[in-house]
Structure 1
Amino acid sequence: MQQPMPTETGILQFLAICDSFYPADAVAAPISQQRQWYDALCARFDQPLPEGLTTEDALVLDKIATRHYRPQAIRTQTVLLYLHGGGFVVGSLESHHAICAEIADFAGAELISVDYRLAPEYRWPAQTDDCFEVLKHLLVSGRQIVLIGDSAGGNLAAGLAIRARQQRLLGIAGQVLIYPTLGGDLVSGSYSEMENAPGLRTSDVAYYRTSLKAPPGDPVAEPLAAASFAELPPAFITVAHFDPLRDDGRHYAAKLAKAGVEVWFREEPQLVHAWLRARHMSEGARLGFRAVCEAASRFAAA
């Protein structure tokens, strides 16, 4: 099958750099090697942090590592809670460090990033449990929260919103889901159309699901399987056209809207999975990242 491919020059350059760090068959390598490649790739796109922004690492409940970002100018008391991507297998506080800093600075809000436990050493629900503990800790303090996550982190963010609704926890001002994986069927729609997309293939998604071992149909693990989408927080959902996960975001946005939830949906026509890292070299990614930052800022100011 011919590989679908965008034409934007900046994103093609981004893909070439990614290929030089992260081979197409990376998921066949040992976990330690995958994490080494991923960390090196992420470091390649690092940018200097915004001027005046400070960071501090801290343990929540003496066990969950987090990183706190505080921009020079704070304009809201709402806290942004960021959950990183990486297929639940790779990723860390370092992998999304610059991304978190830039979002916090744009929104004028404190941001907390969670270093949740990874598969396959820790299977589901370790990841959502770690993030939920941090969320509850913040809500108990009386702070309003905006959930933000990319890819696997988008799954965790959507799942946290559902868990909070199940437990009648109030205080989530919004959810920003960036090319999220939400439990699509792997055989139809974008999973078929973009099966061999650059940056992420459907077989990669299957590998990550196997590593996580989440129960099929559980609405926290697979938010698309929720029995009801009513009374969930307002959402901003952005997807990439050249991404097998694309239709997960499309379908989730439609289900939320049908249930009366306020939704902003954006599809990036020339972007691929993980385009956040291309925000300083691709015009499409730059505009997409600005939309993410504006959404986080809007929810935080509400």
Structure 2
Amino acid sequence: MTDYTKLIDAETWAFIERTNACYPPDTIDYTIVQQREIYDRMCREFFAGYPEGVSAETTAITAPAHDVPIRIYRLAGKAPEAVVLYFHGGGFILGGLDSHDDVCAELCGRTGYEVVSIDYRLAPEHRHPAAFDDAMAAFEWATAKYSQPIVLAGDSAGGNIAAAVSQATRGHKRRPVGQVLVYPGLGGDRARGSYVVHAEAPMLTMRDLEFYKDIRTGGEDRTGEITLSPLADADFANLPPTVVVTAECDPLSSDGEAYGERIVAAGGKAFWHEEPGLVHGYLRARHTVGRARASFTRIVDAVAALGRGEWVW
């Protein structure tokens, strides 16, 4: 049993306790509607507002099957050098344009890039590959709308979607110039590494992960589908320069490590950084926890560098 009292500092414990007060650890035992209500309340509790000069426009992309809602963030007086497509976390069943509203606004404010948040369809109403299809529609829309370089970014479930889009578009004439994945779930080996060591981590457990996996697929065994599990791919060549940032106290950490290693082994550029003592979902702690604040700066700097075509790792 991992001793988290030695790994996690007091600031992070305070964040965990505040989160649990809003979003109890047994929330997955509630109905999907109840889970979304609880999650949305938690996100409102942590909302940090917009940086000065950042505005947002909520609109939609016309896609073949349906319209995909998006929110576009812009910094006043700044012509963006790049565009970021952001895919939010939430286990593929939670979240939307509001859940990561302030994160996207801050990413815009600190990079000067235009940030587009994608409100992809959620399970169980819309099983895989609905979210992936929406992400691909957003990418195609962005390549038609923008001449600037496109960076993909996402946290947790959104990191999975960003990686899947990167793999699907590596032959595209406007392939992404980079991707930044924050504690992503990429379909790694659940019998080893962090999946075992941190199976009972605060904020995310193996029980949670099994629940989310089954909801996304309707309980079907979809082993080997790379749009579902990017680590199932046999080819990691020609992927965009990749920065993966994970949390030490998170069962998903080994996914980020494995993904980075496979890109490098295939001759690509990838950098994996594990944040000591942090937990899944720590982006909401970026204003209250020193370690999370430093990590968010790392994430912002990575997005900024990739958008400029720089590799500094």
TM-score range, shorter chain: over 0.9
1:90-101 to 2 correspondence within 5 Å? 90-101=94-105
Task: Flag the 1:2–1:162 CA change in 2: closer, same or farther, 3 A.
Answer: closer
1:111 counterpart SS class:
strand
Residue 294 of structure 1: how far off its partner (Å) = 0.3
TM-score (norm 2): 0.93
1:241-256 to 2 correspondence within 5 Å? 241-256=248-263
Q: Deviations over 1:117-138 (max 9, x none)?
A: 0001100000000011010111
State the AA in 1 paired with 2:61: V
Cross-structure match for 1:264: 271
Residue 78 of structure 1: how far off its partner (Å) = 1.5
2:172 counterpart SS class:
coil
State the AA in 1 paired with 2:43: C
Gaps of at least 5 residues in structure 1 are none
1:277 counterpart SS class:
helix
Cross-structure match for 1:156: 161
State the AA in 2 paired with 1:16: E
Cα distance in structure 2, aligned partners of 1:147 and 1:54: 20
1:207-246 to 2 correspondence within 5 Å? 207-213=211-217, 215-246=222-253
State the AA in 2 paired with 1:223: P
Cross-structure match for 1:28: 29
Cα distance in structure 2, aligned partners of 1:169 and 1:199: 40
Cα distance in structure 2, aligned partners of 1:137 and 1:252: 27
Cα distance in structure 2, aligned partners of 1:18 and 1:268: 19
Gaps of at least 5 residues in structure 2 are none
1:36-75 to 2 correspondence within 5 Å? 36-61=37-62, 63-74=67-78
Task: Flag the 1:43–1:164 CA change in 2: closer, same or farther, 3 A.
Answer: same
Q: Are 1:74 and 1:110, in contact at CA under 8 Å, matched by a contact in 2?
A: no
Cα distance in structure 1, aligned partners of 2:183 and 2:42: 19
Cross-structure match for 1:182: 186
Q: Are 2:242 and 2:271, in contact at CA under 8 Å, matched by a contact in 1?
A: yes
Cα distance in structure 2, aligned partners of 1:257 and 1:8: 33
1:65 counterpart SS class:
strand
Cα distance in structure 2, aligned partners of 1:290 and 1:48: 17
Q: Deviations over 1:61-112 (max 9, x none)?
A: 1610000000124253311000000000101100000000001111111000
Match of 1:297 among 288, 291, 304: 304
Residue 3 of structure 1: how far off its partner (Å) = 6.1
1:119-130 to 2 correspondence within 5 Å? 119-130=123-134
Aligned residues: 301
Cα distance in structure 1, aligned partners of 2:178 and 2:139: 13
Over 3 Å off, 4+ runs:
1-6
Residue 170 of structure 1: how far off its partner (Å) = 2.5
Q: Are 1:146 and 1:175, in contact at CA under 8 Å, matched by a contact in 2?
A: yes
1:172 counterpart SS class:
coil
- Asked if residue 116 in structure 1 is aligned to residue 113 in structure 2, the reply is no
Cross-structure match for 2:199: 195
Cα distance in structure 2, aligned partners of 1:264 and 1:116: 27
Cα distance in structure 2, aligned partners of 1:163 and 1:39: 31
2:4 counterpart SS class:
coil
Task: Flag the 1:118–1:76 CA change in 2: closer, same or farther, 3 A.
Answer: same
Cross-structure match for 2:283: 276
2:257 counterpart SS class:
helix
1:55 counterpart SS class:
strand
Residue 241 of structure 1: how far off its partner (Å) = 0.4
Residue 264 of structure 1: how far off its partner (Å) = 2.1
Q: Deviations over 1:211-269 (max 9, x none)?
A: 00172211121111111101000001000000000000011011111112111221101
Cα distance in structure 2, aligned partners of 1:262 and 1:75: 28
TM-score (norm 1): 0.96
Residue 8 of structure 1: how far off its partner (Å) = 1.3
Q: Are 2:62 and 2:68, in contact at CA under 8 Å, matched by a contact in 1?
A: yes
Over the residues paired in the alignment, what is the CA RMSD in angstroms? 1.4
% identical aligned pairs: 38
Cross-structure match for 1:285: 292
